Structure 1
Amino acid sequence: MKRPEQFQHSRRALLGAALAMPFIGTARAQSYPSRNLRVIVPFAAGGPTDVLTRIAAERVSPALGQPLVVESRTGAGGNLAGEFVARSEADGHTLLVAGQAILAINKALYKKLNYDPATDFAFVGMLGVIANVLLVNPAAVPVNSMAELVALAKQKPGAISYGSNGAGSLTHLTTAILAHQAGVQLLHVPYQGAAPLMTDLIAGRIGMAFTATSAALPLVQSGQLRALAVTTGQRSRFAPNVPTLVESGFPTLNAPVWFGAVVRASTPAPVVSRLRAEFDTVIKSEGYSQALEKQFMEVMRVPPESSEQFLSAERALWSDAVKLTGVSLD
């Protein structure tokens, strides 16, 4: 049993430690960053996520005074990268660039997840978006608009096939929401990658599919495929004559492919604030916007104070879509 003076001494020590904690966080922020920053990308080098990350990293690096080293950690639909950053040291030296899969879809899609996107990460900034384009093969699906597509699908339930990047992928879930809201039945054909999907779409072995603007526009311009809609809330600057799904009667399908940067949730607040400020300065710059345009990407800003609301809405949207499909992955 502690003597009274021992108790008082222990209480003073605990109080002192508690009062010192904010100053420790401030001290860390003042010396931050003290070494290279690792930026984890959940997909292979050379893909859109990797390219976008490198565009941002090379511009943020001078402001932070340390190199931002981009590192790919692929596998399990992004879950390996998500778990790695969720378990990394919470000092702001390890960032994750992630999109809907890690931050909004996988929690509902996978039976077991070793991280929680809602509690394990702190939002740094939105790096950019890509519009997906709904393409049809005009020989297989002879329509010129979303209204005509819906009418044809109602006439022939289950006859129109669509390709996706796999069960539970963004393209699969977007089409599932579309079919549900339109009240039609479509035949899902999952693929292992975009290349075989596009080969079959061009050949007419499937009737329709969503794919990124960069891959879609050359095929539309050549007349091989027809664009019916884009998934961004506003028309894409790269395809101004193609209506949005929102315009076409699907008000909740503002569903671009977005990419955001996050760190561990327990990272000291001054460090998170520094990262947010430096990334925001870069994202608002004209040079950054111009670099994204060359990749058929656009800037999308989500202020930190609105990030939780944005991410919560995304999780609700894609959780409902997963339920519609009935897909569950191990």
Structure 2
Amino acid sequence: MTDIDSTTPRGARGMSRRTLLRAGAAIPAVALSARTAWAADFPSRPVHLIVPFPAGGSSDSLARIAAAALSSQLGQSVVVENRGGAGGNIAADYLARSPADGYTLLEAGQGIMAINRVLYKHVSYDSRKFEYVGMMGDNANVLLVNPKALPVNSVAELVQMAKAEPGKITFGSNGIGSLSHLTAEVFQTAAGIKCLHVPYRGAAPMATDLRAGRIAFCFTGSTLAVSLAATGALRALAVTTSQRIDQLKDVPTFVELGYPMLDAPSWWALMAPPGTPAPVLAVLRNAFAKVAAQPSYQQTLRKQATLPVTLPVDKAAAFFAHQRQVWEQAVKSSGATAA
């Protein structure tokens, strides 16, 4: 006697339990075979790398270096798309809504992975569900001033002037709650000063206004900061890493100046949509691991004042959890909020 009831398809009636179980057992194997074949064919078209800020900043420069190197490994074009705004939320939301097929990736930093979930009242995505591919690199954040708008030669002089004119000296950021904003807030708290925040939609427009003297200072990534300081129109006062960077050897670290809380480089990770199949992730991770290990890639990063770093997949969850803890506290301490 079989356990087939009246809901069993007509073609299946009269089949034994053993026959049905065999047929059922074959289904996962077929599905697995199809998925494996899909991964073997991946990628069969261009991959899109989403950058959460406009073109021209440090994050954009890093993304284009990584995209070119990754393209050679995947055998397909990796197209950079800039989707700036809302401190990275627009780009992160785009990734979260993208098909989980490996063809859309995101360059994500502290803002997306740690800061925005406490800074904004409503965030449409959960970055904890994003799939980690690899670590792209670390940037120092550099304190830059326009000497015409703010005639100082050191952090000490900036602090002295800010204390004499509380709330009057302006500083720019990549946006409310961005790493550049929060770094400035941490600096102000540590130095006991208060300046006027002017948020922008990315590093490039902020740099334009800094050069023009419409804002007095900012914190920005080392790639952009080095090029800006090289012209002589802007002056670098300190960097947010534990060691000085090669391109700004005469510029002290905040740690040297007595601000240990400002040992805070900005890191960038390559992320895929939630639920991306394991075989596809394996292809992406393997390709990017090869990119990160290339001396030519590392050398190119260093020329851009970016530090090559690695973060194994099995260490990523703990790293991001720690970063959430650190930067959520920074948001709360700063009192920064965003709609």
State yes or no: 1:279 paired with 2:288.
yes
State yes or no: 1:174 paired with 2:173.
no
Distance 1:64 1:159, change over 3 A: closer
Partner residue of 2:47 out of 37, 60, 85: 37
Say which SS state the counterpart of residue 115 (structure 1) adopts. coil
1:53-68 equivalent positions in 2, closer than 5 A: 53-68=63-78
Counterpart in the other structure of 1:122: 131
CA distance in 1, matches of 2:286, 2:97: 24
TM-score for the superposition, normalised by structure 2: 0.79
Counterpart in the other structure of 2:92: 82
Aligned-pair CA distance for 1:49: 3.3
Distance 1:20 1:108, change over 3 A: farther
Residue deviations 1:118-148 (CA, integer Å, cap 9, x gap): 12x1111122233221124557656554455
Query: Which one is further off, 5-14 or 265-274?
Result: 5-14
Say which SS state the counterpart of residue 171 (structure 1) adopts. helix
CA distance in 2, matches of 1:219, 1:141: 16
Distance 1:185 1:54, change over 3 A: closer
Counterpart in the other structure of 2:318: 309
Aligned-pair CA distance for 1:175: 0.8
Partner residue of 1:255 out of 259, 264, 271: 264
CA distance in 1, matches of 2:263, 2:21: 54
Query: Which one is further off, 191-200 or 308-317?
Result: 191-200
Letter in 2 for 1:188: H
State yes or no: 1:237 paired with 2:246.
yes
Say which SS state the counterpart of residue 260 (structure 1) adopts. strand
Say which SS state the counterpart of residue 306 (structure 2) adopts. coil
CA distance in 1, matches of 2:71, 2:228: 37
Partner residue of 1:71 out of 62, 70, 81: 81
Aligned-pair CA distance for 1:279: 0.8
Counterpart in the other structure of 1:4: 3
Contact 2:145 2:218 in 1 (8 A): yes
Distance 1:221 1:62, change over 3 A: closer
Distance 1:92 1:195, change over 3 A: closer
Counterpart in the other structure of 2:118: 108
Letter in 1 for 2:306: M
Distance 1:69 1:188, change over 3 A: closer
Letter in 2 for 1:129: D
Letter in 1 for 2:71: S
Distance 1:97 1:204, change over 3 A: closer
Say which SS state the counterpart of residue 61 (structure 1) adopts. helix
Letter in 1 for 2:222: T
Partner residue of 1:188 out of 185, 197, 204: 197
Which sections of structure 1, spanning at least 5 residues, go unmatched? none
Letter in 2 for 1:285: Q
Residue deviations 1:260-296 (CA, integer Å, cap 9, x gap): 2111231122321221121121122121123334444
Residue deviations 1:227-269 (CA, integer Å, cap 9, x gap): 2211234321211222222333333323333322111231122
Query: Which one is further off, 20-29 or 268-277?
Result: 20-29
CA distance in 1, matches of 2:243, 2:33: 45
Residue deviations 1:141-172 (CA, integer Å, cap 9, x gap): 56554455446555665454433333223221
Say which SS state the counterpart of residue 252 (structure 1) adopts. helix
Distance 1:219 1:292, change over 3 A: closer
Distance 1:283 1:185, change over 3 A: same
Distance 1:73 1:141, change over 3 A: closer
CA distance in 2, matches of 1:75, 1:224: 28
Which sections of structure 2, spanning at least 5 residues, go unmatched? 9-16
Aligned-pair CA distance for 1:300: 2.7
Distance 1:117 1:138, change over 3 A: same
Letter in 1 for 2:276: T
CA distance in 1, matches of 2:155, 2:168: 16
